[in-house]
Amino acid sequence: MSTKKVTRRLRIKQSIRNKISGTAERPRLSVFRSNKAIYAQLIDDSTGNTIVAASSVKLDDAKANVDTSNRVGKDIAAKALEKGITQIVFDRSGYLYHGKVKSLAEGAREAGLKF
């Protein structure tokens, strides 16, 4: 991957993080995407703690495709609802809202999270 592409994503990520922040009542849903897996976690930025986390690795799925991303979104939503969290702030971490990231968000919405 070219360093120009990575640098661009990190600049966009920093711009997004300057605008949004998670609280205990409305945590931030942060997404990280690698070539082999997709990860999501709910973060309370006021204390710096991760409340719940989900990934395609934990689902024992070898691929990180759109279907797996949707399942990860549903999994993190189910865990959040168990903790009593219904409202979140979505942090796409500089990735385009397309493909795997969009599928994860739609899966979380289908399972009951509001953002």
Domain ranges of the chain: 3-110
- Give pLDDT tens digits for 68-102: 999 999 999 999 999 999 999 999 999 999 999 99
- Give pLDDT tens digits for 26-42: 999 999 999 899 999 99
User: How far is Cα 41 from Cα 22, in angstroms, rounded to an integer?
Assistant: 11
Report, as an integer, the average pLDDT of 1-28.
88
User: 0.85 exceeded by the pTM?
Assistant: yes
Please name every residue paired with 29 in a beta bridge, in sequence order, or none if there are none: 42, 90
Question: What does the mean pLDDT of the chain come to?
Answer: 92
CB neighbours of 39 closer than 8 A, spacing ≥ 6? 31, 32, 33, 53, 54, 55, 56, 57, 72
Question: Does the structure show a pLDDT above 90 at 61?
Answer: no
Residue 16, helix vs strand vs coil: helix
User: How far is Cα 21 from Cα 5, in angstroms, rounded to an integer?
Assistant: 25
Q: If you ran DSSP here, which 8-state letter would residue 8 be given?
A: H
User: How far is Cα 81 from Cα 78, in angstroms, rounded to an integer?
Assistant: 5
Please tell me the predicted confidence (pLDDT) of residue 1.
Answer: 56
Contact 16, 93 (CB under 8 A): yes
The fold adopted by the segment(s) 3-110 is Nucleotidyltransferase; domain 5 (3.30.420)
pLDDT band, residue 59 (cuts 50/70/90) = confident
Contact 51, 27 (CB under 8 A): yes
Please tell me the predicted confidence (pLDDT) of residue 42.
Answer: 96
